[in-house]
Structure 1
Amino acid sequence: MSYLTGEYECKLDAKGRMMIPAGLKKQLPEADSEGLVINRGLENYLVIYTKKEWDKKLDELSKLNEFDRKSIQFVRYFTAGATIMIPDSAGRVNLPKNLFEHAGIGSDIVLTCMLNKIEVWDSAAHKKMIANEPENFAELAEEVMGNKKRVNE
């Protein structure tokens, strides 16, 4: 599996359309034929998945107990607002108004690649999030990654 890489500053036009940056578009060859799926993130940002990655998420969700209230609630909120976006002939996608209003996104946005998905942040909110980087990032790295077994062990 290849992972998405990069961070891109973009602007939404008056109609809420975003031009997919060329560097990102090269990493998403199936977007033109299969589309992309955009949805709410777990905080005030949106998430874009390739259709293939979105289907993997739905496969995971389909394994949850459909009679468990917390599972139902999670699936409901996780999938709420999910929208398929097909790039137009100019390589633009239309961000659904209800989603970018939910995330407080204005016309200046930042696309941040996060392994198999893309986070869509309002530019000012992204700057604020980055500014809240832990004082000692090395400690966070040790806590999160330090207990991983080595590949060769």
Structure 2
Amino acid sequence: MSKLKLFRGRFSRSVDDKGRLMLPTELRSVLESRSESSKIIFTTYDGCIVGFPLPDWEQLEEAFYQLKNPPLTVRNFRRLVIGGAEECNIDAQGRVRLSKTHLEYSGIESELIIVGQGQKLELWQPQKLEEVLKQDYDVASLLAESGVDFSF
């Protein structure tokens, strides 16, 4: 049984004047392994652009639709994430076009950092990502409570 490939690592890239991003070969390979059509869905969350292979996105959407009578906070979150979702194709050169709305939300102008996050990837404005990564996280106990042993 083959194991699904996951997005991992960080990659510095730039967006051209038409809003196109050249995906690194490693990430295109993961996308192709997770989605027969190589389609990716981009949306916004946490101040960045988030990308999901189409099948993974469809599972996430289905989970949202299973919620009965969700509270206002969940409905608003759904408006941001599902309402902001855009399906993108990779062109022959390995590029995807990012929408102006997504670029404005994330603060990305030309330079960006792609961060692999397992089943998804994130596109960050470099200074925003730097601020996020500077934060002191004490997550060992939270991970342990969830059954993840992440001790060094």
Smaller-chain TM-score bracket? 0.7 to 0.9
> What's 2:47 paired with?
44
CA contact (8 A) 2:40 2:54 kept: yes
Q: Which has the larger radius of gyration?
A: 1
CA contact (8 A) 1:32 1:87 kept: no
> What's 1:147 paired with?
145
C-alpha displacement at 1:117, in angstroms?
Answer: 0.7
Aligned-pair RMSD on alpha carbons? 2.1
Runs of 5+ in structure 2 lacking a partner?
Answer: none
> Which among 61, 66, 70 is matched to residue 63 of structure 1?
66
Secondary structure at 1:98's aligned position in 2?
Answer: helix
Secondary structure at 1:39's aligned position in 2?
Answer: strand
Q: Whole-Å Cα distance in 2 between the matches of residues 108 and 7 of structure 1?
A: 13
1:100 partner letter = L
The answer on 1:85 being equivalent to 2:83 is: no
Runs of 5+ in structure 1 lacking a partner?
Answer: none
2:141 partner letter = E
> Which among 25, 29, 32 is matched to residue 28 of structure 2?
25
**After alignment, is 71-80 or 93-102 more displaced?**
71-80
Question: How many residues get paired?
Answer: 144
> Which among 10, 17, 21 is matched to residue 13 of structure 2?
10
TM-score (norm 2): 0.84
TM-score (norm 1): 0.83
**After alignment, is 90-99 or 123-132 more displaced?**
123-132
1:124 partner letter = Q
Secondary structure at 1:15's aligned position in 2?
Answer: coil
Identity across matched positions, percent: 21
C-alpha displacement at 1:91, in angstroms?
Answer: 0.8
**After alignment, is 85-94 or 22-31 more displaced?**
22-31
Q: Whole-Å Cα distance in 2 between the matches of residues 22 and 129 of structure 1?
A: 26
